[in-house]
């Protein structure tokens, strides 16, 4: 077998810890195909299967776990030893956020941050899975949930509320159907475990359908189905606003249901003294306060549903 190149083992540790070839390739400045080829090359040289590959990423086999346990801590030691030779640029800030809040809320506001703080260098990562701050070089994140992430500082930005949304094509197709009587409309199943359509009908009246047109496991898939005119979705208003403003989605009726989940600024303790984070945090909280002032409904979530 000969000596294994340290680079192969280093990339193995990265993929094993990230659990996703695309994200690992981005961190290693490689293409996904190149990194995948390296992992197969390592498996061939070791004559062991290290990864189980699936549609949502890669997981370690028993042999892969053993290898990670054997070599991972040594690379951690090397990285720790080298930290004294690297000085973190306080003007550089790496942020992770879900595609929805990134594209619909954050990106339209970033020109104001860049204009006010041209010295700040941003690196943005859009991902549906939560970043692991202990293993990945990310300084701060935007998350949707209850603010309960152990070991992280969480600051609430604003809440969320939901309402029925549909494509204009579906509205035209339904003709004179009453938007307030959703029993007449084709409804798309809600991916939330509690099925928030039940909360919707309980709050505003009406009878839930016996069947939905289709069910989806992610909010993104649900939104795309609504955009294609497949049916009516319960849309998050914060992340759907740009689509509504552009006329690609219409809100049916005038009822809005607040939910208990909210949007949060989160960061690990190591980022507290990061000057770039301090600048970004102050700017973000100002933007969030201005947004809440324009959207009073966000401030009244005492009747929010889970």
pLDDT tens, 272-296? 888 899 999 999 999 999 998 887 5
Q: Which residues contact 103 (CB under 8 A, 6 or more apart)?
A: 126, 242
From 138, 142, 140, select the one nearest 128 (Cα to Cα). Answer: 142
End-to-end, the C-alpha distance of the chain in Å comes to 56
Q: Tokens standing for 154?
A: 């969480």
| pTM of full prediction above 0.85 | no
Residues in the chain: 306
Q: What is the mean pLDDT of residues 177-191?
A: 89
Give me the pLDDT at residue 299, please.
Answer: 47
Q: Which residues contact 61 (CB under 8 A, 6 or more apart)?
A: 48, 49, 50, 51, 52
Q: Which residues contact 253 (CB under 8 A, 6 or more apart)?
A: 163, 164, 179, 180
Q: Phi and psi (nearest 5°) for 65? A: -60, -40
Q: What is the mean pLDDT of residues 243-259?
A: 92
Give me the pLDDT at residue 289, please.
Answer: 92
DSSP letter assigned to residue 120: -
Q: How many CB atoms lie within 10 A of CB 185?
A: 20
Residue found under tokens 């607040």: 258
Give me the pLDDT at residue 39, please.
Answer: 92
Q: CA 77, 82, 88 angle in degrees (round to 5)? A: 125
Q: What is the mean pLDDT of residues 142-146?
A: 93
Give me the pLDDT at residue 285, please.
Answer: 96
> For residue 268, is pLDDT > 60?
yes
pLDDT tens, 195-238? 899 999 999 988 888 899 999 888 888 999 999 999 999 999 99
pLDDT tens, 84-121? 444 445 678 999 998 889 988 999 999 999 999 998 98
Strands 257-267 and 153-166: antiparallel
> For residue 297, is pLDDT > 60?
no
> For residue 19, is pLDDT > 50?
yes
Q: Determine contact, residues 141/127, Cβ cutoff 8 Å.
A: no
Q: Phi and psi (nearest 5°) for 238? A: -65, -50
Strands 121-126 and 57-60: unpaired
> For residue 83, is pLDDT > 80?
no
Which three-class secondary structure state does DSSP give residue 260? strand
Q: Tokens standing for 234?
A: 């319960």
Q: Determine contact, residues 214/226, Cβ cutoff 8 Å.
A: no
Give me the pLDDT at residue 23, please.
Answer: 86
> For residue 76, is pLDDT > 90?
no
What structural domains does the chain harbor? 6-85 (1.10.10.10), 92-159+261-299 (3.40.190.10), 161-254 (3.40.190.10)
Q: Determine contact, residues 212/187, Cβ cutoff 8 Å.
A: yes
Q: Tokens standing for 241?
A: 């606003």
């Amino acid at each position: 077998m000969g000596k294994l190149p340290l680079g192969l083992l280093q990339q193995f540790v990265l993929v094993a810890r990230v659990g996703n070839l695309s994200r690992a390739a981005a961190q290693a400045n490689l293409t996904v195909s190149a990194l995948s080829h390296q992992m197969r090359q390592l498996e061939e040289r070791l004559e062991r299967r290290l990864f189980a590959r699936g549609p949502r990423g890669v997981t370690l086999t028993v042999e892969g776990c053993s290898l990670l346990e054997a070599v991972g801590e040594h690379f951690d030691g090397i990285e720790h030893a080298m930290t004294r030779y690297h000085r973190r640029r306080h003007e550089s800030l790496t942020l992770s956020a879900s595609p929805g809040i990134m594209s619909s809320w954050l990106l339209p506001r970033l020109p104001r941050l860049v204009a006010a703080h041209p010295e700040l260098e941003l690196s943005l990562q859009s991902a549906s899975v939560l970043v692991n701050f202990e293993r990945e070089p990310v300084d701060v994140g935007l998350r949707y949930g209850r603010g309960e992430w152990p070991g992280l500082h969480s600051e609430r930005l604003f809440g969320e509320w939901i309402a029925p949304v549909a494509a204009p094509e579906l509205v035209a197709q339904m003709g004179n159907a009453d938007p307030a009587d959703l029993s007449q409309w084709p409804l798309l199943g809600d991916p939330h475990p509690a099925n928030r359509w039940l909360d919707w009908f309980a709050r505003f009246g009406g009878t839930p359908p016996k069947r939905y047109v289709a069910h989806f496991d992610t909010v993104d898939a649900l939104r795309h189905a609504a955009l294609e005119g497949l049916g009516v979705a319960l849309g998050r208003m914060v992340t759907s606003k740009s689509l509504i403003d552009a006329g690609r989605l219409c809100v049916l009726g005038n009822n809005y249901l607040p939910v208990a989940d909210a949007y949060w600024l989160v960061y690990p303790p190591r980022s507290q003294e990061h000057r770039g984070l301090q600048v970004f945090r102050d700017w973000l909280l100002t933007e969030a306060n201005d947004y809440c002032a324009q959207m009073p409904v966000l401030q009244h979530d005492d009747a929010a549903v889970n």
